């Protein structure tokens, strides 16, 4: 078969100014970083990026002025950096054009492009400002024919009933660039571990470039064809690039480089708190709980604290590992997730969460956050959610500036009226207490306050009148629970300090 091998500079030179481009990987894994550096060396500009959860791969391109427009769900390195610093500055200063979606809806958009369909339906986004607000103006959409004429469309099912669905438009990029573990000169590739959205990103692109840790003979990968996720004829070019994802991880090859990632970011906090909780539960009262990570892993048995939902550590003794498309479609949207954990910059009295921006005009925010990621999808589609937050007055306003992840919306039955068929927040666990929601009004109330505090103290640190009737003191953790947290869950004191 014809060899598709070319060197990295040759491959990067194929990308022209103004190209539409998607990059594979997810938060802390398998971003094609060596390829990104080559684009910067070549001085490429006006790039139009499409992605779900990029990290510093996008951030350095944005910081170097190489990107004109992006469509995305989230931009951060999770625990290493809760928002991309260059992305934040570019949005806040008006130096970049963008549109917000969620992880699930971006994956569905790639899937529509991969299947040759104009759009895909979903139950996600209903009730959120991700649905209601458009960052790109009509003029900006008209100026680039590659941009859909509208962000999305809401309709009732044409097959009877009044169920609402959201239609999201297909993505077709000029190029997709993936970094994988193994590839052959003919274009057969092997992705080990989570595939994220790499497959649908590749299938929705005109040209696919693969960088690989190893180049192997066809016979090696043909021996197990069920492990090869893409038809070889989809791959146009292959480059041998060992350590091509550094400082990010490549499962079965190398870990992420925490020193370099920490050096890039100035602060990181709170991302891992839900992981502390599920690890503690699995090691104590719920040994058989099934931990699901949106990046594609189901049934993990964690031994080390992950720094990201895409961390290679989540692969330990997992029951299955696939990609975002499978988890979001067949597990979350199908109603198979009992509890989802969420967090954000703001939480209001009805449990709506903001992880997008501060300011009354989302197109010109005072402060930009990473975006929805999968939070909106989990808030819309899980059977119930638990919110984890630092308890500060500014974090608990009467009304959030932007509803990234819908809670009980305006209270009462407003969630159901928005078209959401299940779910809603059941509790808000903070650094000061535990709050729940009145079943008749769906308004928040104080259920318990942590030892050493008082209901009055929590009320003082909440930006709306807090109902404290009937609040009791939170039970203290047992000595055994504290030992497990300190010695087994977080011995390096990443989050416990």
Q: Catalytic site residues?
A: 294
Instruction: Give the distance, in angstroms, between the CA of residue 351 and the centroid of all CA atoms in the same chain.
Output: 20
| Rounded CA separation 400/396 (Å) | 8
Contact status, residue 85 vs residue 266, Cβ threshold 8 Å:
yes
- Reported residue count of the chain is 497
Neighbours of 12 (CB within 10 A): 23
CA angle 285-288-291, nearest 5°?
105
Q: What residues contact 493, with CB distance under 8 A and at least 6 apart?
A: none
Distances (CA, A) of 381 to 351, 404, 414, 420, 425: 15, 14, 16, 8, 11
Residue carrying structure tokens 């059977």: 383
| Rounded CA separation 298/321 (Å) | 6
Contact status, residue 49 vs residue 58, Cβ threshold 8 Å:
yes
Rg of the chain over Cα atoms, rounded to whole angstroms, equals: 22
Contact status, residue 106 vs residue 52, Cβ threshold 8 Å:
yes
């Amino acid at each position: 078969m014809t060899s598709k091998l070319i060197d990295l500079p040759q491959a990067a030179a194929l990308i022209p100014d103004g190209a539409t481009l998607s990059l594979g990987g997810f938060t802390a894994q398998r971003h094609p970083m060596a390829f990104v550096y080559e684009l910067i060396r070549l001085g490429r500009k006006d790039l139009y990026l499409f992605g779900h959860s990029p990290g510093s791969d996008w951030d350095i391109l944005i910081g170097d002025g190489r990107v004109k427009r992006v469509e995305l769900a989230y931009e951060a390195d999770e625990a290493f950096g809760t928002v991309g610093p260059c992305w934040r500055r570019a949005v806040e200063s008006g130096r970049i054009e963008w549109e917000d979606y969620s992880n699930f809806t971006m994956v569905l958009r790639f899937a529509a492009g991969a299947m040759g369909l104009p759009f895909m339906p979903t139950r996600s986004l209903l009730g959120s400002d991700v649905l209601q607000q458009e960052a790109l103006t009509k003029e900006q959409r008209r100026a680039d024919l590659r941009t859909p004429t509208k962000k999305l469309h809401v309709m009732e099912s044409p097959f009877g009933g009044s169920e609402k669905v959201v239609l999201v438009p297909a993505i077709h990029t000029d190029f997709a660039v993936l970094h994988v573990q193994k590839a052959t000169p003919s274009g057969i590739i092997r992705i080990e571990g989570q595939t994220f959205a790499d497959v649908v990103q590749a299938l929705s692109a005109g040209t696919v470039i693969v960088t690989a840790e190893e180049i192997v003979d066809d016979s090696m990968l043909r021996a197990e064809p069920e492990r090869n996720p893409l038809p070889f004829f989809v791959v146009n070019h292959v480059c041998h690039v060992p350590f091509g994802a550094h400082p990010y991880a490549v499962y079965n090859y190398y870990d992420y480089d925490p020193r370099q990632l920490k050096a890039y970011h100035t602060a990181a906090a709170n991302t891992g708190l839900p992981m502390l909780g599920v690890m503690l539960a699995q090691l104590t009262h719920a040994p058989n709980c099934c931990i699901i990570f949106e990046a594609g892993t189901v049934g993990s048995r964690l031994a080390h604290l992950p720094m990201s939902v895409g961390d290679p550590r989540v692969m330990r003794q997992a029951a299955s590992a696939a990609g975002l498309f499978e988890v979001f479609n067949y597990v979350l949207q199908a109603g198979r997730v009992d509890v989802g954990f969420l967090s954000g910059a703001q939480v209001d009295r009805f449990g709506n969460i903001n992880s997008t921006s501060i300011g009354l005009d989302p197109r010109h925010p005072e402060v930009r956050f990473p975006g929805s990621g999968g939070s909106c999808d989990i808030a819309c589609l899980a059977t119930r959610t638990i919110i984890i937050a630092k308890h500060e007055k500014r974090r608990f306003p009467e009304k959030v500036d932007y509803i990234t992840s819908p809670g009980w919306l305006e209270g009462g039955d407003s969630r159901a009226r928005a078209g959401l068929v299940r779910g809603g927040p059941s509790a808000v666990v903070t650094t000061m207490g535990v709050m729940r929601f009145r079943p008749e009004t769906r308004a928040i109330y104080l259920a318990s306050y942590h030892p050493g505090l008082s209901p009055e103290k929590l009320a003082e640190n909440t930006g709306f009148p807090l109902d404290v009737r009937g609040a009791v003191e939170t039970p203290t953790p047992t000595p055994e629970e504290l030992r497990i947290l300190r010695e087994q869950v977080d011995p390096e004191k990443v989050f416990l300090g």
